[in-house]
Structure 1
Amino acid sequence: MTGCAGQPEAAGQPAGQQAGQQTGATGSFSFTDDRAETVRLDKQGLRVVAQEDAANALMHLGIKPVGIFGGAPLNGNPMLKGLDLTGVESVGEVFGEVKMEKLAALRPDVIVSTFYTGDGVLFPGGVYGFQTEKMQNDAKAIAPILAIDSTKPSSHVIQRFSELAKALGADVDGGTVAQARTTWQSAVEELKTTAKERSNLTVLAVTPAQEQVYFAVPDLFPDLLDLKDWGVDVMTPKGKLVSSYYEAVSWENAAKYQPSVVLVDARGYTLGNEALKKYPTWNALKAVQAGQVGSWVRVSLNYADYTKQVQDLTAVLKRAGNV
């Protein structure tokens, strides 16, 4: 059976075997996802097709999918930057669209994605990457779907993907994965220490858009849940919520809150720091004036990227003053 589990091919390259290689694994596969759905197969070395977020997580753990679907072409997809995509087929490059004929041609044993709850869910039981219930059912007719809850703390999300990768045959207890986990744990401990030392600092996560500024409710975002648990004082907006996730205000009110540190949504389609400089009310934020601005990823899917995120915030907190 062709498979996808194996060791990184080179230092710093968290990829598994070439897509389609034999793993030589014997035995069976069993995993219960975060929807309490269990997939059991009487073989290992499974052929995996993954949604782009799940692919990011799995490839950093040593599992290389045979196919990926997402919102951008493979070679230009920011979720897949730096990963070895040799031999991986694209089965969808527009959000919510999956090419069923290509998916079927890859003969996947299992499809892996994530899901979220609350506002914005397209249909009951919807898994990320499928625009309609019919599309998801069509995919499920080709191969069973496993999905990880991406609204849990990021540390939990990564752990769940680690459990899945281990079930798929990856070595997540040693090698580069264990090293990455240890480095991340050290970074978290340093952040905890810094947060305790700088307990007077407040942090606000924002998603800036063309017409409005969105202030995040920290209890509903994976990375922010971790930060709160680690002692960072993440602010909760007090105004009327446009959804369970955000308070939205016009740009005239962008300086409504005055946190010590601002974390700016790092997704590619939000306003970046250069664009934000054109907004007078953004520059009215004292944290912005003091250069106390960091990035906010929203959900981290692997230890390497999460380590950088934690280290960057730690550096901002260490140099920040209470404005």
Structure 2
Amino acid sequence: MFEDAMKEVPADLLVGIDTRRPSHPSAETQLRLTIAGVSNCPGASIYINTFLGLLKIAVEVDRFWGDPESSPKLTRQQVLQYLPGLPAGRAGETIADQIFHIVSPEPWTCGLSGPNADGWSITIGRNIRKFSSVRTFTDYWQIRSSLLNQGESEIAPDTSTDSLDVERTKYPHRPFILHRDLAKAEQIFDDGHLAHSALEAFQAVELSVKRTAGQHDIIPAKFQFGQRLMSYTMNPKDGSLIFAPNGAEDGVSEQEGLMWIFMGAFAAYRNPLAHKSYEPNDPAEVWELLVFASMLLRRLDGASARPRKSD
């Protein structure tokens, strides 16, 4: 009998029927596997990987959501645009759509919209913040069980996919990868230490200036830091860092302009951050500072060093 068979099914396996008090489903009833059920199916790795990536994007959407009057939403378009590892074309779209149905019972969602002609969206609840540190499916399941007060689950999810953690998931507010020298600053940002991550970013810029200029120049002690370092190394007249190698007037103007940008960055941001007179706590604001520092580093990548002109 159907009812007797369903009583043997663990409660964590299916959505759409109460396995403890089952009744025969109607033709309209939708039965779906939970993420635990999916993890125990052959070929589940791509689904678990997609699920973890979608979770990370949801964490980021919640972090940067700017409207306090509405709940953050994750859309189908965002998932398809920012989630790495999905197969191209219709195959990837199908996997994303299947994951959409799987997340409905998860404790960090508070509503689904669609699917319809405009796609679908997931309304993200406050519980998503509990999952900000998740790196593996084991991490996820432990936090999930704790939130649902389940203790030992009836079904043990297959955690063999733990090695599939999405470490470089792109985010809706991260349309590109930051400069390689900002890896530490980005990790500090992800850990929630916002002002520290901004300071680390500008310290990375400072170190890059020293490293590049120092190829042909011994920088005096009094010019080793901050604005003085930028002025000393980037001065159009005799600086050891060159952004515009030609001697044309526009090249000199570009060199001088960049010198002032670097000096201004350290006067306005690096120094106040170091002295703790400026401690930003808005993730969007701090992310903009990291992007600014990344731009400075990319300009340094294109600079060349020269022996400093003698007086």
Is the TM-score greater than 0.5? no
Q: Rg: which structure is higher?
A: 2
Q: As a proportion of its length, which structure holds more strand?
A: 1
Q: As a proportion of its length, which structure holds more helix?
A: 2
- Give the TM-score normalised by structure 2: 0.26
- Give the TM-score normalised by structure 1: 0.25
